[in-house]
Amino acid sequence: MKIDRRHVAGLGSAALLVGMATACSPASSSDESDADSGGIKKVTIQIDGSAAPYYAPLYAAKEQGYFKKAGLDVSFTYAQGSDIVKNVAAGNVDFGFPNGDSVITSYGQGVKTNVVHTTYQQGIGAMLSKTGTGIKSPADLRGKIIGVTDLGSPNYIQLQAMLKSAKLNISDVKVRTIGTGVIVDALKNGQVDGIVFSRLRYYALKSAGVDVQQMLSDKYLPSFGNVVVASPETVEDNPKRVKAFDDALNQGIEYTIKNPAAAVDMSVSKYAPSFKGQEKDITGIINDVFAKSLWQSPTTKKDGLGQPDVDRWQKAIDAQADFKIIDEKFDAGDMVVKPNDLG
């Protein structure tokens, strides 16, 4: 089956031109550059999307002093995933926190970064639908109206992977592109039969009383949610700095797992005030999803937080090549770094 590539090529252009709105001052490889009198190194991490309490481990690493103890003064900025990868590759920011799918696509198209911390051990995409639509498996998607945010989004590719598993084609469904801000409402209002979007919205819909069900995309297309990336130059020149960042982030994850309510309250209060009033629900999601299956996995239990399952990364890379998102496969070991091997 040939996969529809409309707009997909735009995900990871090799061009490194990035708008001034998202670019930061170039990151230096010098340990002395941008350091204060106490020897603390100033670094920036650019995060996918906008401030959200789901990024609590990063915020906790700063607020609990883990970054500072590691010799880092960390600042947060925000941008879209593909722009983050370009900025990191160009040296405009020290670290990035984009979706793993964007990292693979960009790498395959010549914009190369290294994954230095596999923070989310699996993807967060899902097919969300109301129980009354009769969608219980990919085979039930035939003839259904399915919403995606963009024909170049990872979710659109996940839809195609689901269809392929049932020997269906994208032409067997009616695809509607719907903006991120209204796609959930389109499902609630019955404008579409299903949406391929973040599995986190499943819990918000349940909380709102919507009779919703989900099929996790990861079952049909191996993928990763947010991961930490750095430029190959940073990894080569400053492995100890990268390791220090990873270790502090791990402490932030551990803190959040042990103190989810406090971590969420802090994140909403200091970084993401638009989520005020949702703290209880978000704490439940942190406990039920992030702590159990996103931040932790059999790999992390064996090797430690942030460690990659390289074979799984390879499957994700191979899938993008098979779906013609990238021109050819490449070795996951060239892109993915094991934090335990740093420093």
- Cα–Cα distance measured from residue 84 to residue 68, given in angstroms and rounded to the nearest whole number: 24
Q: Does the pLDDT at position 26 exceed 70?
A: no
SS3 35: strand
Query: Domain spans of the chain?
Result: 8-122+224-341, 125-219
Q: Check residue 41 and give left, alpha or beta (phi > 0: left; psi -120 to 50: alpha).
A: beta
C-alpha Rg value of the chain to the nearest Å: 20
pLDDT category, 171, cuts 50, 70, 90? very high
Q: Do domains 8-122+224-341 and 125-219 have the same CATH topology?
A: yes
The fraction of the chain above a pLDDT of 90, given in percent, is 78
Q: Let me know: does 343 contact 242? Beta carbons within 8 Å.
A: yes
Can you give the pLDDT at residue 2?
38
- Kind and range of the H or E element at 177? strand 174-177
267 CB contacts (<8 Å, ≥6 apart)? 52, 53, 55, 56, 59, 60, 275
Can you give the pLDDT at residue 217?
93
Can you give the pLDDT at residue 30?
43
CA angle 154, 157, 159 (to 5 degrees): 115
Can you give the pLDDT at residue 323?
83
Can you give the pLDDT at residue 28?
42
Q: DSSP for 290-336?
A: IIIIIS--HHHHHH-TT---HHHHHHHHHHHHHTTSSSS---HHHHB
| Topology annotation, domain 8-122+224-341 | D-Maltodextrin-Binding Protein; domain 2 (3.40.190)
- Cα–Cα distance measured from residue 212 to residue 126, given in angstroms and rounded to the nearest whole number: 12
Q: Of how many residues is the chain composed?
A: 343
Q: Does the pLDDT at position 283 exceed 60?
A: yes
pLDDT category, 21, cuts 50, 70, 90? very low
**CATH of range 125-219; options 3.40.1390.10, 3.40.50.720, 2.60.120.650, 3.40.190.10:** 3.40.190.10
Can you give the pLDDT at residue 38?
61
- Cα–Cα distance measured from residue 40 to residue 279, given in angstroms and rounded to the nearest whole number: 33
The distance in angstroms from the start CA to the end CA of the chain is: 45
Give the helix ranges, DSSP H, for 189-238.
200-207, 232-237
Can you give the pLDDT at residue 235?
97
Can you give the pLDDT at residue 284?
93
Of the two residues 53 and 21, the one the predictor is more confident about is 53
What would the pLDDT profile of 177-224 be if each residue is shown by its tens digit?
Answer: 999 889 999 999 999 999 999 998 998 898 889 999 999 999 998 899
Q: Let me know: does 85 contact 111? Beta carbons within 8 Å.
A: yes
- Cα–Cα distance measured from residue 212 to residue 230, given in angstroms and rounded to the nearest whole number: 38
Q: DSSP for 234-295?
A: HHHH-HHHHHHHHHHHHHHHHHHHHSHHHHHHHHHHHT-GGGTT-HHHHHHHIIIIIIIIIS
- Phi/psi at 196 (5° precision): -100, 110
pLDDT category, 33, cuts 50, 70, 90? very low
SS3 1: coil
- Tokens linked to 275: 């989520």
* Residues paired with 44 in a beta bridge: 75
pLDDT category, 13, cuts 50, 70, 90? very low
Mean pLDDT of all residues in 34-63: 89
What would the pLDDT profile of 83-140 be if each residue is shown by its tens digit?
Answer: 999 999 999 999 999 999 999 999 999 999 999 999 999 999 999 999 999 999 999 9
Mean pLDDT of all residues in 59-63: 98
Q: Please count the CA atoms within 13 angstroms of the CA of 336 that sit on its side-chain side.
A: 26
1-15, 86-100, 127-141, 286-300: the lowest-pLDDT one: 1-15
